[in-house]
Each structure stands twice: as C-alpha cells, then as structure tokens.
Structure 1
Amino acid sequence: MINYKVFDDGQAVVEALSQELLEYSQSTQPVHISLSGGSTPKLWFKYLADHYRDKINWNNLHFWWGDERCVAPNDPESNYGQAKALLLDHIEMNPENIHRIIGENDPEEEAQRLAEEICQSVPKVHGIPAFDWIVLGMGDDGHTASLFPHHTDFNDPDLTLVAEHPQSGQLRVSKSARLLSNAERITYLVLGEGKAQRLQEIATHDSVDLPYPAAKIKARNITEWYLDANAAKDL
C-alpha cells in the first residue's frame, strides 16, 4: 500500500518529519535511519537543529545515507557535509552512530566497505539488513538515491554499488534497490511544481510499466510520499 500525504508547504512537511523522528528516538532499541541529500533535507536538518536539538534522544538513532557523491566531506556536493553543517554540528550525538559514506575513498572499495559495515550493524530481515526508516528524494527524471532510469539493475544481489550519473559522469556510491526495498518504511520527500508531472505519472501507472526507480522501489511495510501542495497539484 502506498500512501500520499499532502501538506500545505515544505515547512509543514519538515514539521511532520521532525515529530516522527522524535518518536523513533524514544524507542527502546537502536533505530537505523537512512537520510537523503537534496534541498528538502536541508530544510529538515535546519528545522531539527533549531527546534528539536534538545528534544530528541539522538543516541538512540543511527544515521546512514542513501547515497553519496564521490567527493570529500567539505565539498558543497557532499550529502554528509550538508547534514554535518546544518544538523550534526549542532546536536549531541555519539560519533559512532554516524555512518557516513566516505566519498573520498576509492568508489569500489568504499561500496564494499559500506556493505560490510551495514551487515555488521543493521539487524536483518529475510537475511538482508533492514533499515527502520529510509528517507528518499526523487529527481526530475524519476531517479532516487543514485539509481537512475534505464541504468538500474533491480535484480542486483549486492547491497551497495557504484553508479555513474548519466549526464555528468560523476561517480556515486549508493544503496542498491534490493537493500532499499528491504526497509520497514520508505518515505519519499517531493516538493515543488517541477515534480508534479512525474509524480502524477507514478501515481496513475503500474510501476511495472515505468522506468523510474522512485516508482519501483517500495518498502516491506510502509511506502509513503510526503508532498507539498505544489508537487501534488496533478494528483
């Protein structure tokens, strides 16, 4: 079952996400959460730092990333660097709970290292690591993480991979479709009118007929889309 949740604007989206992160942090078990890069998480991270810094039990949470560009953490394109500047530098969180993808490493070696760390740290369901919550974005072309239309092997048995951006050729380390799909919950964050047409296509077609990874990758239990009114205008 896929749920579409429409909010008035991006501010309302990040307020809802923050409350849910607070509830996760109150769990009696460690919670493994995979974060996304992009503009919407920037808004979320800043809101968390400003309003939830002292409310969330950060040390109950483990932060991972869906993908990372093969750049150093101080590069403006680094997903980890973005989260560090806007959130991680402003909260009290055990450094061992922050599992960054090391973008400056050799990509193939880093993908393997990341897979091993995930296997050692994240509890398994059906023999595969199962994240509690994976937050993803969607590109204008329907890609998610670094899984691109017509360039993604949905039957890839590996947990991680090295992807090449179809236009720029930039290398990225990403979770695989197999690993993403074994999550308990996936939340897609989509804001803005520019995503409305692609979203309408995903919402009204069988995912089998579409090439978009964002349409095909669904969690074991909860798959949901958090949208602002502009993104949802054609639904």
Structure 2
Amino acid sequence: MNYIIFPSAQNAVEKIAQEFVLYSQQNRPVHISLSGGSTPKLLFKTLAQSPFNTEVKWQNLHFWWGDDRMVEPQDPESNYGEVQKLLFDHIQIPAENIHRIRGENNVEQELARFSQELTACVPHLEFDWIILGMGKDGHTASLFPHQTNFDDQNVAVIAKHPETGQIRISKTANLIEKAKRITYLVTGGSKAEILKEIQTTDAENLPYPAAKIKAENGVSEWYLDKDAAKLL
C-alpha cells in the first residue's frame, strides 16, 4: 500500500487542491471522479476559495461521482448537491463538464442513461483520477462488503445500503480499476483500526472492497491524516 500521511485533513485536501490546478493545466478534458463524505466537503470548500477558485482552469475538468443516492439534488443526502452548494455555485465551470447521477430519476432508467454517458464521454473508460473514501465497514463508492461483484463488467450498478436499504447508483469495481490514478482520502481516528487491518492482512482474506479495489495499470495511493494513520 502506498500511504501518504498528512498532519491534518486540511493538509491532505490542500494537496489534492494543488493537484487539481496541475491537472487543469493540461489543455484537454480531464475526467475526475469525486467522493461523498465529510473530508471531501473540506476539499470542496477549499477549492471554492482563493487561490484555487481562480487558479484551476475549470473548463478543462470534467466531474463525475463514484456513487450517488437516488434522491433529489436538493436533498442533503445528494453527493452532487453537496458539491453544487460548496463548490460549483462559487466558480465558473461549464454546465456540460458536470456529469451527475440524476437521483431524482427512475433508478433503472438512470442506470442506463448514466452508463451510456460514461461510455460516450470517458476515453477508453479510463478516468484520469478517481478520488474515493472508505466507510468504517470498508465500503467504497457504494460497493459494500459481501455484496460487491468484482467481476461485473458493466460500468455502473444499482446498490442498496445494507443497513438503511437506501438505493444508490455506483461505479463498478471493474470501471474504477481502469483509472490512471486512484486516491483513497481517509481521515479521522475512527478509520484507524480498519486501516491497520488492511495494512496487515492479505486483501484476499478481507471482505472490504476498499482493500481490494486498486488501479490495474495506474497508481493507487492512500492520503491519510495522522489520526487515521495512528495505528500503522
């Protein structure tokens, strides 16, 4: 595992924000997949402020999501809605660069529409960068332990949260693993135990999708704050 440990969550998200600037300087469409959760909120707030809000060439970045819940975009549960409120409302970005999962739609129809958009827009289905989180149960995107099909050749899948039953659409493990770069952004002491388990146990013997999913032909890395890394 390639661990990069930062003094704080803020330090980690500032590093990612700096890399957004670098990615955006490539004069081509750069496809980035975002994550939901508390630490990404910190990232979006950071990107919305100076210097990043003006230094990033937003017209070159295309944003996607690892997963989203089947709710209205105004719903507090919407991953897209969080980014809209914290970042997109504060920057100049072309509407066509935002590729959201339309949680207000019928789930089967949206799965088909979103899968078609992915296939049409992302060259060779290789994302430039996929930023992922990890739940305390080891899930990532909406790929949960004991219910993820790692051999699913589709690009997206309908998923159900194992406890709440909430319906989501998620990228598949197969699609994520095609990425040129995967960064797990994990912060906070509540993730320390599972990170230690992932570090010390063969991934084949673990049920956690976050332990198994890595870039097949690219870079996989973990950006951790010191609280998350305290047992490593």
Aligned-pair identity (%): 58
Shift of 1:157: 1.3
Cα distance, 1:206 vs structure 2: 1.4
- CA-to-aligned-CA distance 1:50-97 (integer Å, 9 cap, x gap): 121111000000000000000000000000000000000000000000
Q: How does 1:118-157 map to 2 (within 5 A)?
A: 118-124=118-124, 129-157=125-153
1:28 CA drift (Å): 2.2
Instruction: List alignment gaps of at least 5 residues for structure 1.
Output: none
Quick one: which of 159, 164, 169 aligns to 2:160? 164
Residue pairs, 1:34-45, within 5 angstroms: 34-45=33-44
Q: 1:208 aligns with which of 190, 204, 207?
A: 204
Deviation at 1:203, TM superposition (A): 1.2
**Alignment correspondent of 1:179:** 175
Cα distance between partner residues in 1 of 2:10 and 2:161: 30
Q: Distance in 2 between matches of 1:139 and 1:73?
A: 22
Cα shift at 1:193: 0.4
Alpha-carbon separation, structure 1, partners of 2:207 and 2:129 = 24
Asked if structure 2 preserves the Cα contact closer than 8 Å seen for 1:187 and 1:225, the reply is yes
What TM-score comes out, normalization by structure 2 length? 0.98
Stretches (4+) displaced over 6 A: none
Aligned mate of 1:224, from 213, 218, 221: 221
- Aligned equivalents of 1:131 and 1:157: distance in 2? 16
State the aligned residue count: 230
- Unaligned segments of structure 2, at least 5 residues: none
1:196 maps to 192
Q: What corresponds to 1:106 in structure 2?
A: 106
TM-score normalised by length of structure 1? 0.97
What is the CA distance between 1:109 and its match in structure 2? 1.3
> For each residue in 1:32-59, what CA deviation from the matched residue of structure 2 results, as whole angstroms up to 9, or x when unmatched?
0000000011000001101211110000
